[in-house]
A and B are shown apart, each in its own frame.
Chain A
Amino acid sequence: MKRGTPPAPQTRAGRPAVSRSRRKEILVREEILGTNRKVAAELRKRFEERGVLAVNMISSPGAGKTALLEALADRVKGRFRMAVIEGDIETERDAERIRRKGVPARQITTGGACHLEAKMIGKVIPSIPGDVELLFIENVGNLVCPASFDLGESLRLVLLSSPEGDDKPKKYPEAFLSADVLIISKADLFPHLPFDAARAAREALDVNPRLLVFVISALTGQGLPEFVEFLAARLAALRHA
């Protein structure tokens, strides 16, 4: 929508005419994120038709998204084919960590953007193996912005790690409101912190009573078997839908 220089209106005699601009109102009533939603809906259809459970992971930086994926890679090996799309502002580091676990990973570096958008996912889909069953999308570490952008996932996880504090859900409601699952991570640190897991869960459930809550330690493996069974059930449900 670049500004052009409109030719000056001329009368038949060639003299400039008196400007006859008028103003007009256009009613739109359109959702600004409509385009992202449309792309996301196409992706979701594609994933579900191919029997892929796509999972969007949202949290603040350092809440343990990559560590959880590393632990999951070990747990699902030989059972489900898993792949990861990594979103970060810079570096390939997270994708390299996942690849070291023998799991295909594709890094998206946003170069500054604080969230992933559906069209970014669409662009990297061709480089994801076609036979994948669990596709994790690790969003840019940020508890605010990613919540507004549907990526075509069938499941949205929000992670809250114990060092962040149990009062976060009501301070950052959007991320908790839009998620299906809350993972309280770094459970191994509970004995060392004034963190009340029950309060964190209660706050999150106040914001969104539909949330399913898992308490997990990627380090000790606490809560992982239950979470893997949950993913397996969701994958089976998606395939029989």
Chain B
Amino acid sequence: MHELSLVASLFDVIECHVKEQKPKAVTRVRVQLGRMSGVVPELFETAFDTYKKGTLAEDAELEIVVVPVKARCRSCRRIFRPAPDAYSCPHCGSDRWKLLEGTDIVLEKIEIEI
């Protein structure tokens, strides 16, 4: 349950981006969660709803986009999306690959009311 810590960091980033605009409210927050980021979307949502109380984002809607895992095979150089529990390249079968996407937690955009 580290989702609350992550939401606290999320609010720091939000504050950083909105403070100069002096908004009346933050109305929408869109976050990308990598499927391998170790974050459970439902828990992230609960943590967000708990944390937002008493802040400018009190009535904000949280939109979560789950980003699938993307990898590049080190042998055949092709890009593929590994299925859960599949750890080899579907094209050549190699188990040497590099993750390109799907491990990050990104604040994509914020909507504010000014």
Task: Show the binding face of A for B, using Cβ within 8 Å.
Answer: 1-3, 6, 21-36, 113-115, 117, 144-145, 147-149, 170, 173-174, 177, 205-207, 209
Contacts and interface: CB of A to CB of B under 8 A. Distances in A.
B17 A26 contact: yes
A132 B96 CA distance: 36
A25 B38 contact: no
Interface residues of B, number: 47
A32 B17 CA distance: 12
A27 B109 contact: yes
B107 A32 contact: yes
Contacts of A114: 1-2
Given A3-B55, A3-B58, A206-B95, A36 B9 contact: yes
12 contacts: A1-B11, A23-B27, A26-B112, A27-B108, A30-B106, A114-B1, A115-B5, A148-B2, A148-B37, A205-B95, A206-B87, A209-B95
A177 B87 CA distance: 11
B56 A32 contact: no
Interface of B: 1-2, 5-6, 9-15, 17-19, 21, 23-24, 26-27, 31, 36-39, 54-58, 85, 87-88, 95-96, 99, 103-114
A145 B110 contact: no
B36 A23 contact: no
Given A1-B55, A148-B105, 8 more contacts: A24-B113, A24-B114, A28-B109, A31-B106, A35-B13, A115-B5, A173-B36, A209-B95
**Could you tell me the dominant secondary structure of chain A's interface residues?**
mixed
